[in-house]
Structure 1
C-alpha cells in the first residue's frame, strides 16, 4: 500500500470560509438584487428568491447561485428571473460591487495571524474564489494576509470555475506541489468537488458559510466549525 502524500499546501475559498458569509454577504446580496431590479423592491425579492436567498429571513440555500455561483452565473440567474439589465452589464456592475464589499467584510478570525502561523509551519497558501480576483486581493490586503499567499485565483483569472479542477491545478503549478499534497478548504460543495475533481489529498468543509454538516458530509474528509480548527486535522500531516 502506497503511503499518502503529506499535505504541504492549503487552498482556501474566500466567502463563507475566510469571511463570515451571513455577516458579510447578506447585505451585499440585497444591494445586488436592488441594483439588478433597478430599484423595484418586489422584483428584487423575486430575484433573491430565484437565486437561493429568502428575502425575509436571509436564509441562503446551500449550493444555490448566491451560495456558490460566480458573478456571471449570478448575473445570468438574475436576468433569467426578470432583471431588465443584460448579463454583461450586470456582471460588470456586480464585480465592482463585490470588490467594494471587501471594505465591509467580516473575517472569521484574525486572518493575518492565521495565515502567518500556517506560513511559518511551512505550508504553501492560496485563495481560490468564485468572486473576482480583484475582490480577493483587496480582501487579502485589508486583512493583512496578502504577503503570505503564494497564489490567488478568481473566476476571472483564467483557471476555469468551480467545481472544475483548474484553480487547484493552477495552485499546483504555482507552488510545484502535486494535487495529493494539497488540502482544499471551503464552505460549499463547489469547493469540495473542485478539490475531489483535481485529486486533492484532503477536502475540508467549514460551517461559517451556507453549508451544513448534512450538505457537506459526502464531499469532505473533515467538517469543522471554522478554519481555526484546521490545525486539529493537520498535525500528523505537517510538511517535512
Structure 2
C-alpha cells in the first residue's frame, strides 16, 4: 500500500486529498451479509420447493457462499455480479447439474426474487452525517454499484441521502460492470472531476480493481463486506475497518 499521509494537508481525514469519493453500496454503505446471505438461502429454498429436491450443492458454490456460515467469498460471484448475470449463471449451473433446460427455466422463474432494498438495508454508519461531513470538507459523493438502479435509488432515498449523491452508476445502466473502470470514468466525465482526484471505496476486490484500472488517486478497502484484509490489502492504498473511519473528523 502507498503512503497516503501527505494527502491531508489543508483538509482533514483520509479523503482530504480527494475532490470526489465514489462508494460501492452493498458491503460498503450497507450490511452485505444481512441482505445477500439470507437471500441465497431463500433462493435455495425456493428452488427446492419448485424442483422437489435440495439444490444447495449447486446454488451455494455457484454463488460463492459458504452454506454453513453464510459467508460470501470475496472472489465469488455474489460479491460483485449483477442480478441478471447471477440469474443466467444459476441457470447454466442447474443445466450442468443435469436438469433439462425447460425445467430450469420454470424453477428459476418460480424461485428468483430480489431482496427488499429497504427492509434488509442496514447502514454501516450514519450515512447522511458522513456524506454531509465529506461534502462540507470539499469531497463530493457518487455511487458505483453492482446492483440495479431501482433498488439502489430506493435504498438511497430510504436513508435520506439521495440529495447528497451527485452521480450513481448501476449494473443495469448498460456499461461494462466491475472490475471494468467504465463506471468510474463515466462518473468523472459527468461531474468534471479527473480520476487522479477521486477516491474509490469498496469492500470487494472487484471494487478496488475498478479503481486501480480507472487510475483513481486513492483506492480504499473497507472490512465491512466480503473482503478481509488479506484480500484487499494488495489492491488498496488504505484499508479501514469501515466507512466511518473516512469522516473528516474521525
Range of TM-score over shorter length? 0.7 to 0.9
2:153 to 137, 143, 155: 137
Note closer, same or farther for the CA distance 1:41–1:15 as it changes in structure 2 (3 Å cut).
farther
For the 8 Å contact 2:27–2:202, the answer to whether it is kept is: yes
Is 2:88 the partner of 1:76?
A: yes
CA distance in 2, matches of 1:217, 1:112: 28
1:30 aligns with 41
Give the C-alpha shift of residue 39 in structure 1.
6.0
1:113 aligns with 129
Is 2:19 the partner of 1:8?
A: yes
* TM-score normalised per structure 1: 0.85
Give the C-alpha shift of residue 60 in structure 1.
1.5
Is 2:136 the partner of 1:125?
A: no
For the 8 Å contact 2:28–2:203, the answer to whether it is kept is: yes
Give the C-alpha shift of residue 55 in structure 1.
1.9
* Structural mapping, 1:1-240, within 5 Å: 6-36=17-47, 38=50, 40=52, 42-82=54-94, 84-86=103-105, 93-94=112-113, 97-98=114-115, 100-231=116-247
Give the C-alpha shift of residue 225 in structure 1.
0.5
Which of 1 and 2 has greater Rg? 2
Give the C-alpha shift of residue 162 in structure 1.
0.4
CA distance in 2, matches of 1:209, 1:6: 25
> For 1:74-107, what per-residue CA distance to the aligned partner results, in whole angstroms no more than 9, with x for missing partners?
11221122174449x76xx54xx14x33332111
CA distance in 2, matches of 1:208, 1:41: 34
1:238 aligns with none
Runs of 4+, deviation exceeding 6 Å:
none
| Structure 1 vs Structure 2 CA RMSD | 2.6
Give the C-alpha shift of residue 36 in structure 1.
4.8
Note closer, same or farther for the CA distance 1:36–1:71 as it changes in structure 2 (3 Å cut).
farther
Give the C-alpha shift of residue 158 in structure 1.
2.6
CA distance in 2, matches of 1:182, 1:57: 36
Aligned pair count? 227
Note closer, same or farther for the CA distance 1:135–1:85 as it changes in structure 2 (3 Å cut).
farther
